[in-house]
Structures are given as C-alpha cells and as structure tokens.
Amino acid sequence: MMKLEVSNAKVSVRFRKILGGSVLKGTVFNKWDGVDTHLTLDSDAPPEKLAHLIKNAKNGCFAEGLIVQSVPLNSTVEVNGAPFPIEGVTAD
C-alpha cells in the first residue's frame, strides 16, 4: 500500500439532527443539519503523502459516501410472512 507511518489516529464525529413530531399523532420527522468529522494523527510523512492518504480514506469511507451521495432507499415490509405495503413507506 502507501507505507506511511501514522500513529495516534483518532476521529470524532458529530451528528447534527433534529427529531420531532408526535408518535401518537403520526407526525414523527427527522431533519439533518449536517455531520462534522475531525481527524487527528501524528506522522512525520510529507504533507502531500498525508493528504493523498487522507483523501483515499475519505473517498473509500462507506459512511461518508451515504451522506454525500444521493442514495436510493428501497423499503419492503412483511407481516406474518406476507408483503405489507404501506403508502409512503414501501415501494409497492
């Protein structure tokens, strides 16, 4: 691989979201305001090689890909072994 020495790598993630509405009234909603990440690491590697490493890691991250890309969500539900379509929830 890239053969860079990195130590003390840590990442913190903060999810900024709002959950509201009423379960009883059927008005539950969630709204995302954003996701913040902060990476810290120690390394004596050249800055351009570290930038290359970090770009590769971020571009290959499944979690970040779900956030920054529009990803289709296809939902199905079964109840007692039979399809259970729900308007506004399932694709059926």
The pLDDT tens digits for 9-20 are 999 999 999 999
Question: Is residue 91 one of the residues assigned to a domain?
Answer: no
pTM for the model stands at: 0.73
Question: Is residue 14 one of the residues assigned to a domain?
Answer: yes
Give the total number of structural domains in the chain. 1
Instruction: Give the number of other Cβ atoms within 10 Å of residue 57's Cβ.
Output: 13
Q: Name the average pLDDT for the chain.
A: 94
The domain in which residue 39 lies consists of 7-83
Question: Is residue 88 one of the residues assigned to a domain?
Answer: no
Question: Is residue 30 one of the residues assigned to a domain?
Answer: yes
User: Among residues of the chain, what percentage have pLDDT more than 90?
Assistant: 87
Question: Residue 37's domain is classified under what CATH number?
Answer: 3.30.300.20
* pLDDT one-digit tens code per residue, 13-72: 999 999 999 999 999 999 999 999 999 999 999 999 999 999 999 999 998 998 899 889
Task: Report residue 91's pLDDT band, with 50, 70 and 90 as the boundaries.
Answer: confident
The Cα-based distances of 57 to 6, 72, 90 in angstroms read: 13, 23, 34
Residue 67 · residue 36 · CB < 8 Å: no
